[in-house]
């Protein structure tokens, strides 16, 4: 992206999708999981540290496409009406807030498939990082 163009990547429209806690080895998303959308940290592919490295947050977001002026300069990013993609975030609250200023822990959910593999270390990390207490 050129330096004189604004960084549209951080502006995401609000949607009603929950933020789902999942693990990096989840077969449904394994091929799509690579790095945090905000900070760019790479998620471990093999043998992540249990609790710290294998938990991530998934959020379904609408695609953004560029709107250009007559000179070819991108002036704005427009969200699609229906087409969505899974985006992944690390467990840093600041990463979520940067792209989703409306985020709060009430929007978190844990997928049924993830609940089955959670251990105490996972629950401790969720509480430390996001103040999320799983009941």
Q: Looking at the domain assignment, is residue 115 inside a domain? A: yes
In this prediction the pTM is: 0.76
Q: Looking at the domain assignment, is residue 116 inside a domain? A: yes
Task: Give 119-131 pLDDT, tens digit per residue.
Answer: 888 888 888 888 8
Q: How many domains are there within the chain?
A: 1
Q: Looking at the domain assignment, is residue 111 inside a domain? A: yes
Least confident of 50-59, 81-90, 102-111: 50-59
| Percent of the chain whose pLDDT exceeds 70 | 82
Q: How many CB atoms lie within 10 A of CB 66?
A: 13
Provide φ and ψ at 126, rounded to 5°. -60, -40
Token match 């999708």: residue? Answer: 17
Evaluate if residue 116 carries a pLDDT over 60: yes
Q: Looking at the domain assignment, is residue 37 inside a domain? A: yes
23 lies in which domain range? 16-62+85-130
Q: Looking at the domain assignment, is residue 67 inside a domain? A: no
What are the residues facing 111 on neighbouring strands?
none
């Amino acid at each position: 992206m050129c330096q004189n163009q604004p960084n549209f990547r951080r502006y995401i429209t609000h949607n009603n999708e929950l933020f789902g806690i999942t693990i990096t080895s989840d077969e449904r998303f394994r091929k799509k999981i690579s790095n945090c959308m905000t900070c760019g940290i790479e998620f471990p592919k093999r043998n992540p540290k249990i609790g710290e490295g294998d938990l991530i947050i998934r959020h379904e977001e609408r695609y953004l496409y560029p709107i250009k002026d007559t000179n070819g300069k991108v002036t704005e990013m427009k969200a699609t009406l229906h087409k969505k993609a899974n985006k992944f975030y690390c467990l840093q609250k600041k990463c979520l807030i940067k792209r989703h200023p409306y985020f709060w822990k009430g929007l978190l959910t844990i997928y049924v498939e993830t609940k089955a593999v959670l251990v105490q270390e996972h629950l401790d990390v969720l509480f430390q990082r996001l103040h999320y207490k799983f009941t």
